[in-house]
Structure 1
Amino acid sequence: MAPLTAVVVPFFDQQSQLDLLLTALELQSVGPDAFEVVVADDGSPARAVLGDRPYATRAVRQENLGFRASAARDLGARATDAEVICFLDCDTVPEPDYLRTMTDVIRRGDKRCGVVAVGRRRHADLTGWEPARLRAWLRGDGAPPTPLTEPAWLREGYRATDNLRYADDRSYRFVISAVLGMTRRTYLRAGGFDPGFVGYGGEDWDLANRCWLSGCDLRHVPDAVAWHDGPDFADRSTEHTAVKDRETLQLARVLTDPIARGSGFMWPYPATVVRVHGHHDIGPLAASCSSWLAGGDVALWFVDRPRVPTQLPPDPRLHHGAPSNQVLQRCRYQVDVYAPLALSAPLPHLIPDGGLDVRIGTEIVARVRHTRMINRGADNAPAAVVDGRLLDDSVTLESRWGGWDK
């Protein structure tokens, strides 16, 4: 029988820090039979030594193809059948009630979509600490380390959202993989950590964003404390700007939040997916497609066609068939269009906080829904309504684009 909780630890040549982490896990108040530890080795020169522990341990390993902590976490998560997965970085030391506090919040979460829990990561210099000294501190018999500064932006983010109870589309920024937990079902439903991330940072924001869009609640758990060995990245890197810029560009490929990717570029995953239903005359269809694409970060799928109409330009935003799961997990809005029509304004200007129905007369000819609404089963909730303009073959495409059809 699988333990109820798996602790997944990404590892690369950090044996002394791993020794501290594994020692701290011996002192967890949930007891050793309640969890297992999966150490996910990112291709270290020397394999991790797990030692003799009162709880179950095992290691999984991937080839060294660069800094791939995201792939290592995913490898570890998919190696376990535990109901709950808690991710702890190898350079963190959890306090004795960490797992109990985190798993209590996770198991009480939303039964339909789940909850993503993020603990409190504190900072201290644990250089030179041995397991015996750590054990004494955590048992209350020894002196604690001197705390280092916690990132102010994280503290403010949690304060402003009441520990993420009032999260929104941009609260993924307050989720960090060092102290992260969710059910296995939630993890797999959102697609898990992306193995394609190479280099420092960003994979936690990507996963948190997908979890949010999948309908999950987010929750900061301030009583679930784990101590990071050393200062925050911003305080320890001499190349902070260059590293963060590389992280931003990697994230922009997958994160469809407008503030994460700016404007002007065309990215692999669009913020808005438009599914075009039906077979329409090419002139009205072209005019309708150009109207939707004018919204900016948009891509179209002709769901009823075996190929993109050959008369349309070779635009990489035009596709046939159904959007992939990876696209639907990351897009913010999903649109279904049932007739060729022109919008009264670019799509981003029309979308309210909820959904949007576009009608011609009394007929709904397009539906716009936030991906989170769809996954929470709220896509049939009352939506704002705007009027559209039906495009037929009574006017030529030349006249429409030339503005002579007014």
Structure 2
Amino acid sequence: MWPDVSVIIPYYDNPAGLREVLSALRAQDYPGRVDIVVADDGSPTPASREPSLAGALAGVTVVRQEDEGFRAAAARNLGAAAGSGEVFAFIDGDTVPTPGYLTAAVARLRDDDHTVVVGRRLAGGRFAEPAWLAEGYAATGDLARADSTSWRLIISAVLTVPAGFFRELGGFDEGFRGYGGEDWEFGWRAWNAGARFVREPAALAIHPEPDFGARFAPDEGGVREQSAVKNAETIALAARITHPIARPAGVVFPTADVAVSVPEFDSPGAREAVISSWLRIDAHVYTPGPVPTLFVADPRVSEGAPGDERIRVELAGPWCLKEAEAFYRAATDASLVLGDASTVTSARARARGAAPAAATGPALGLNEAPGPIRLERLFAGW
């Protein structure tokens, strides 16, 4: 049995494009039931009242939100709330699926209810994928070799996901206003929740207009405009995606990427040495008791338990971070245990219930703080 599918179409003031998308959806060869939901993002003339859409919307559910700017994430969530299918297929209102689109996409979901499928979207007059996307899919074997950076290849214009998993994730982040970012952030949360990523080339859709990179004039004004749009997206993502490639070093954000729980140590100076070493990366250090005097003014050190950080480090011994690159390489998406029962677990490993693998401090880029430690020598490098 093929699952029921709800196709969710975010829409804004493009009746000609929507008519074409709806016509293509009615021509699908999908063997199961399909319902269609149009989520109007505050069009000047509501889709339900647009005369040229009267016939095209027959049998289609139309929901609408007020015009408060570009709110594609909220529109998709609104559409999903009205969908009744076991699968949500998100297709933009200017992206036309070929007849086999739904069959190809949904087929990849049938053996895993935590799969996220990205279709193939060809744009512009040459009907090609942007080079950066094509290169990303080639490098990962169409996401068969996805990793913690592959959220950059999740595109909501051609996205299919089990409805239950979508709800489990909380849908798209409605805090996004303006172009872009909400699909990457969704992909980031999905990956850390244990998702399997799939790119299905046979789920093909056509976007007749140019892709984002080709929408701006090649002059200084166009470059400035494009940079302003992308910079706004990047800044919004930096507050939400904790991965090192998404945010600048040395900036403190509401949620760090790494949580480090540091107990008391008998050796003088060891605790201060350990804490200061971890603060060289995007980490928040947690202590079981009062924060050591040296760090009382540092918002990155607090008493208590870890929060929403992606990687959790529970130290049993005085392990200092020595090589950040080695740590990230070993810890990302992993569950590890050291000989003294110190542990390192990623959000993805926790979501998937991964059994911990044995590791050593040097393999994790760590070294044990010798004690006792004269802090003035540590600080001055003597």
Give the Å deviation of 1:205: 1.2
- TM-score (normalizing by structure 1): 0.78
- SS class of match (1:403): helix
Give the distance between the partners of 2:241 and 2:200, measured in 1 at CA: 25
1:32-181 equivalences in 2 (<5 Å): 34-49=33-48, 51=54, 56-108=59-111, 110-111=112-113, 114-124=114-124, 147-181=126-160
Of residues 89-98 and 251-260 in structure 1, the stretch that sits farther from structure 2 once superposed is 251-260
Instruction: State the one-letter code of the partner of 1:380.
Output: P
Which of these residues, 274, 277, 284, is aligned with residue 291 of structure 1? Answer: 277
Match of 1:270 in 2: 256
Give the distance between the partners of 1:285 and 1:79, measured in 2 at CA: 53
Match of 2:207 in 1: 228
- SS class of match (2:174): coil
Give the distance between the partners of 1:204 and 1:218, measured in 2 at CA: 13
- SS class of match (2:25): helix
Is residue 2:318 matched to residue 1:363?
A: no
Is residue 2:296 matched to residue 1:313?
A: yes
- SS class of match (1:199): coil
Give the Å deviation of 1:53: 6.4
Give the distance between the partners of 2:298 and 2:321, measured in 1 at CA: 23
Instruction: State the one-letter code of the partner of 2:96.
Output: V
Quick check: 1:42–1:61 contact (8 Å CA) kept in 2? yes
Give the distance between the partners of 2:239 and 2:299, measured in 1 at CA: 15
1:19-38 equivalences in 2 (<5 Å): 19-30=19-30, 34-38=33-37
Instruction: State the one-letter code of the partner of 1:118.
Output: V
Quick check: 2:316–2:340 contact (8 Å CA) kept in 1? no
Q: Deviations over 1:98-144 (max 9, x none)?
A: 11111111223x35xx21110010125xxxxxxxxxxxxxxxxxxxx
Which of these residues, 359, 369, 376, is aligned with residue 352 of structure 2? Answer: 376
Q: Deviations over 1:182-237 (max 9, x none)?
A: 11222233342111111111111111122112211111110111111301111112
Quick check: 1:179–1:226 contact (8 Å CA) kept in 2? yes
Aligned residues: 362
Is residue 2:285 matched to residue 1:300?
A: yes
Structural RMSD (CA): 3.2
Quick check: 2:5–2:86 contact (8 Å CA) kept in 1? yes
Give the distance between the partners of 1:23 and 1:58, measured in 2 at CA: 15
- SS class of match (1:196): coil
Give the distance between the partners of 1:158 and 1:150, measured in 2 at CA: 10
Which 5+ residue runs of structure 2 have no aligned equivalent? 217-221
Instruction: State the one-letter code of the partner of 1:200.
Output: Y
Give the distance between the partners of 1:186 and 1:292, measured in 2 at CA: 34
Give the distance between the partners of 1:38 and 1:253, measured in 2 at CA: 31
Match of 2:233 in 1: 247
Instruction: State the one-letter code of the partner of 1:315.
Output: D
- SS class of match (1:374): helix
Which 5+ residue runs of structure 1 have no aligned equivalent? 125-145
Match of 2:175 in 1: 196
Match of 1:134 in 2: none
Give the distance between the partners of 2:344 and 2:161, measured in 1 at CA: 29
Instruction: State the one-letter code of the partner of 1:375.
Output: A
1:328-343 equivalences in 2 (<5 Å): 328=309, 331=310, 333-338=311-316, 341-343=318-320
Give the Å deviation of 1:176: 0.8
Q: Deviations over 1:333-367 (max 9, x none)?
A: 2222345x2415155443543547575xx532x21
Q: Summarize the Cα distance change of 1:314–1:42 in structure 2 as closer, same or farther, 3 Å threshold.
A: farther
Q: Deviations over 1:25-83 (max 9, x none)?
A: 1111126x612122222222222136456985322332322211112212222343421
